[in-house]
Structure 1
Amino acid sequence: MNSILISSAKLLLPQHPQDGEIVDILIENGKISNITAPSDPGGEMVHIIDGSGCIVSAGFFDLHANFGEPGLETKEDIVTGTSAAAAGGYTGVAIFPNTNPPLHSRSEVALVVNAAKGNIVDVHPVGAVSKNREGKELAEMYDMQSVGAVAFSDGNHAVQQAGLMSRALLYGKGIGALVISFAEDESVAGGNQMNEGEMSTFLGMKGKPNLAESLMVSRDLFLADYNESPIHFTCISTAESVELIQKAKERGVAVTCDVAAHNLIFSDEDVQGFDSNYKTNPPLRTKKDIAALVEGLKDGTIDAVVSQHTPHEIEFKNVEFQIAKAGMIGLQTTLPLMVKAGFGAEEIVEKLSVAPRLILGQRMPSLLEGSDANLVLFSMTEKWILDGKSNKSKSANSPLWSQELTGKVKAVIHHGLLVENK
């Protein structure tokens, strides 16, 4: 498909000369050839996408998604993962090393990079900080960076040894690499199943206290400050973490952070029905924590929103809550959850398109005439249902299954390829 016309859409992109205007965007051979006021397309042989009432912006970029490849392809492979990402409005995803084997050496990172070539969605591997994600010995970070690793993290295994984390930050600083911290002190979290609070007491379940997260946030902020290194916290979930990061930013620490979209909507009260799709890590917190997270996004303390897309086969979810795996699919539901949380289109563009690329130092699509088309078209008001027909993931572990959602991605265009959600 050589020519595509997006008609009558509102362009939202900070610094763009036509930011906030209703425009027609003509794309020819993968490049934006013309941006004009809405007009009759006439007899041109183009594929027309009606953007009336919709927003067009740079494609979304996810800082935290999990695919299964290599080793766990029954959960999600690169083909199905990128299909879900495109359906959710993403043209770039950073995938975490929670695989088997983990992305902890040059060969695994190169495998992912090569397998994802030619896709509408750019796949950016996040290499492991430690070998086998065991938290004992630094992995070969420079080797992984040389073949495409964009950052380093031990994924959902928080680095427990402060000395190892300090060395990772120092080494990352030396090679210009960002270290991403998943903040959980396992000795305090205790492997428990949900948030510690009134609801866990009511349900008779052992809980993870907010302290398990805030202790690790505090430790890693001290380490980043000591080493004068940048650090990024992924999936923060507590009011205490927001406060700690806000104060660190005020002190001049080079810290950024993100929050998972589901932690902006769901709370520990949703666990009452023991639906294992509500089991996540970090766990769903209290409504007080949710309010702090939303406020943190609005005042700039929290930089970005992530999907934390974590697919699982049915045998890992359709079991008792206590033994179920943590996580839910989220690439296609991040936009609806942000709409439900009360964020406007400008805030969504900032937290899903702009900030994630700035954090990783990725090139920002300009959406200027003559540039490569890398964009998303989405509606803030259109409704759709997540079900077997609309779901593009290999897995179906979502508490939003069969529910009507508000906020729909209409199309993404990247690398001369088009994906539309009918």
Structure 2
Amino acid sequence: MITLIKSATIIDASSSFHNQKKDVLIENGVIKKIEDTIDPKEDYTLVNKDNLHISCGWFDTSVSFGEPGFEERETIENGLKVAAKSGFTAVAVNANSNPVIDTKSSVEFLINKANGSATNLYPIAALTAKSKGIEMAELFDMQQSGAIAFGDYKKPIANDNLMKVSLLYAQNFGGLILSFPKNLAIAGEGIANEGINSTKLGLKGIPALAEELQIARDLFLLEYTGGKLHIPTISTEKSLQLIKEAKKKGLHVTCSVSAHHLILSDDELHGFDSNFKTNPPLRTNQDCKALQKGVKSGVIDIITSDHNPIDIEHKKVEFSEAKDGTIGLESLFGALNSVLNLTDFIENITSKPREIFGIKPTSIAVGETADISFFNPEEKNVFTKDAILSTSKNSAFLNKNLTGKVYGIFSNNQLILNK
């Protein structure tokens, strides 16, 4: 297959063609030419879109699909199609299933289910057996089978010694440990950010302290043990400051933030819409602004959708009873494109996550394997249910104004385009 991409603005800070408009010729999955103009031939497949921009393929490091066990929420097959049409050539899939991904065979199951897909799937295996936080899972065996990191999805490790031992043990094979930032004793039965809005609405609060205390503990342990620690989906200004100070000390710590925590605040809760019930909870406008600055300054390493499909039976219920989580693959680019510089966005969803999770980096250069996302950064639209490709429809960005349109991807010698 020969694919010709016409008049595309290249966004790739590592490339000599950065911010230049070029034609790109791909043959058998490899970039053969990048020139001002390449004449098409009859057997070429053309990609010719309005205001076409391209970058290295996007990588989302926090995605849940449900399968195995929760196929009614999302299957791996459909989830990967959604990811491709949302601009992602790679996703890291959480151990958010039943049973959880905590064995060599379950890691291999995920990888085999994704075989032949345009979007690459990388498993994040559970850190503890059955994600119960009691004993460490077989980390080395799972890494040998293809797991790229280890963490219990949305479940903090309360046992200090277990986290210490995990950080020490993983150093034997360069493993990356994820620690969800939440102190359960402090959070209690809270369901919303503790503050003015939770008080007005009569919702039990989760103080920012619950997140910050857990992060402080993990950073103390990391300083003692060494190793590599990744803190997923931080949500408060103080969390950002703690991680910034740890990086200044030279600790090997990285962190991510979700799109909804960068943009949406707990002001959204006044309608008691369960699509805004997330974990961590939506915080204050001040936190949102601080996190945006954290991305721009480089303290925050990764942006993620934290895509978590929840079926209607567990979302269309009373706010206090609804399951936490929002989908986010389809809306991520359009949501963030209005608050972040395009180059900052691309860096935090291409090169940085690949480096942190040990995935081979990609580049838009002659001779490189084509791994490319297609998009238009300027088209404005309203995100409606018609734009949701996921099986579950629990989006916090429903009916929000977005800026930017995703056209598709080229990956694994497959061209996937939206209609």
* TM surpasses 0.5: yes
| Secondary structure, aligned partner of 2:377 | strand
TM-score of the pair, normalised by structure 2 = 0.97
Q: For structure 1, which segment, 358-367 or 254-263, has the greater mean C-alpha deviation from structure 2 after superposition?
A: 358-367
CA positional deviation for 1:226:
0.6
CA positional deviation for 1:388:
4.7
**Aligned equivalents of 1:133, 1:408: Cα separation in 2:** 37
Q: Structure 2: which amino acid aligns with 1:297?
A: V
**Aligned equivalents of 1:358, 1:127: Cα separation in 2:** 18
**Aligned position for 1:6:** 5
**Aligned position for 1:365:** 362
**Aligned equivalents of 1:325, 1:165: Cα separation in 2:** 27
| Secondary structure, aligned partner of 1:34 | strand
CA positional deviation for 1:399:
2.9
Q: Structure 2: which amino acid aligns with 1:318?
A: K
**Aligned position for 2:270:** 272
CA positional deviation for 1:51:
4.4
Q: For structure 1, which segment, 15-24 or 59-68, has the greater mean C-alpha deviation from structure 2 after superposition?
A: 15-24
CA positional deviation for 1:27:
1.2
CA positional deviation for 1:309:
0.2
> Conserved in 2, the CA contact under 8 Å of 1:55 and 1:345?
no
**Aligned equivalents of 1:379, 1:408: Cα separation in 2:** 5
Asked if 1:412 is matched to 2:404, the reply is no
Q: Structure 1 54/348 Cα, relative in aligned 2: closer, same or farther at 3 Å?
A: farther
**Aligned position for 2:380:** 383
Asked if 1:350 is matched to 2:343, the reply is no
Q: Structure 1: which amino acid aligns with 2:331?
A: T
**Aligned equivalents of 1:50, 1:228: Cα separation in 2:** 49
> Conserved in 2, the CA contact under 8 Å of 1:70 and 1:108?
no
**Aligned equivalents of 1:164, 1:235: Cα separation in 2:** 21
CA positional deviation for 1:404:
4.7
**Aligned equivalents of 2:345, 2:160: Cα separation in 1:** 35
> Conserved in 1, the CA contact under 8 Å of 2:189 and 2:204?
no
CA positional deviation for 1:45:
2.6
**Aligned position for 2:390:** 393
**Aligned equivalents of 1:365, 1:272: Cα separation in 2:** 43
Count of aligned positions: 419
Q: 1:60 aligns with which of 53, 58, 64?
A: 58
**Aligned equivalents of 2:191, 2:385: Cα separation in 1:** 28
1:107-118 equivalent positions in 2, closer than 5 A: 107-118=105-116
CA positional deviation for 1:21:
1.2
**Aligned equivalents of 2:398, 2:291: Cα separation in 1:** 25
| Secondary structure, aligned partner of 1:10 | strand
CA positional deviation for 1:413:
0.4
CA positional deviation for 1:365:
1.1
CA positional deviation for 1:334:
1.0
**Aligned position for 1:136:** 134
**Aligned equivalents of 2:41, 2:394: Cα separation in 1:** 46
**Aligned position for 1:291:** 289
1:199-348 equivalent positions in 2, closer than 5 A: 199-340=197-338, 342-348=339-345
Percentage of pairs with the same residue: 39
**Aligned equivalents of 1:388, 1:274: Cα separation in 2:** 19
**Aligned equivalents of 1:159, 1:288: Cα separation in 2:** 28
Q: What are the ranges of 5 or more consecutive residues in structure 2 without an aligned counterpart?
A: none
| Secondary structure, aligned partner of 2:337 | helix
> Conserved in 2, the CA contact under 8 Å of 1:30 and 1:416?
yes
**Aligned position for 1:21:** 20
**Aligned equivalents of 2:400, 2:234: Cα separation in 1:** 26
**Aligned equivalents of 2:52, 2:208: Cα separation in 1:** 39
CA positional deviation for 1:368:
1.7
Q: 1:50 aligns with which of 48, 51, 72?
A: 48
> Conserved in 1, the CA contact under 8 Å of 2:215 and 2:242?
yes
CA positional deviation for 1:247:
0.5
**Aligned equivalents of 2:261, 2:415: Cα separation in 1:** 31
> Conserved in 1, the CA contact under 8 Å of 2:351 and 2:362?
no
> Conserved in 2, the CA contact under 8 Å of 1:135 and 1:160?
yes
> Conserved in 1, the CA contact under 8 Å of 2:327 and 2:396?
no
Q: Structure 2: which amino acid aligns with 1:352?
A: I
> Conserved in 1, the CA contact under 8 Å of 2:62 and 2:94?
yes
**Aligned equivalents of 2:100, 2:41: Cα separation in 1:** 53
1:151-230 equivalent positions in 2, closer than 5 A: 151-230=149-228
> Conserved in 2, the CA contact under 8 Å of 1:178 and 1:232?
yes
Q: Structure 2: which amino acid aligns with 1:88?
A: S
CA positional deviation for 1:235:
0.2
Pairwise CA RMSD: 1.3
**Aligned equivalents of 1:134, 1:14: Cα separation in 2:** 42
Q: 1:99 aligns with which of 97, 100, 109?
A: 97
Deviations 1:364-384 (A, max 9, x none): 112221221100011111234
| Secondary structure, aligned partner of 1:377 | strand
Deviations 1:158-189 (A, max 9, x none): 11111001111111111111001111000001
Q: What are the ranges of 5 or more consecutive residues in structure 1 without an aligned counterpart?
A: none
